[in-house]
Amino acid sequence: MITVNLDVMLAKRKMSLTELAQAVDITIANLSILKTGKAKAVRFSTLDALCRALNCQPGDILEWKED
């Protein structure tokens, strides 16, 4: 199972979802879907933009855990 740790990274960077949405040019609604783990897919371009805005690695945002 893939877990999305976007909320953890936002807290570490002291950034709000609104600030991230503006920095990445993604709607708050789409970021919320990703943050809650309800997204079915993530584009590499979106992951790249998130990593740039949060100054992190993809593994900081996405984590695999055994069911």
Beta bridge partners of 1: none
Tell me the three state secondary structure of residue 40: coil
- Token pair of 9 as six digits: 């990274």
The whole model's pTM is what? 0.91
pLDDT digits (tens, 9 = 90+) for 22-63: 999 999 999 999 999 899 999 999 999 999 999 999 999 999
- Token pair of 34 as six digits: 């990703």
- Token pair of 58 as six digits: 């993809």
End-to-end CA distance of the chain: 6
The domain at 2-60 falls in which architecture? Orthogonal Bundle (1.10)
Kindly list the domain boundaries of the chain, sorted by start residue.
Answer: 2-60
CA angle at 13 for the pair 10 and 18, rounded to the nearest 5°: 50
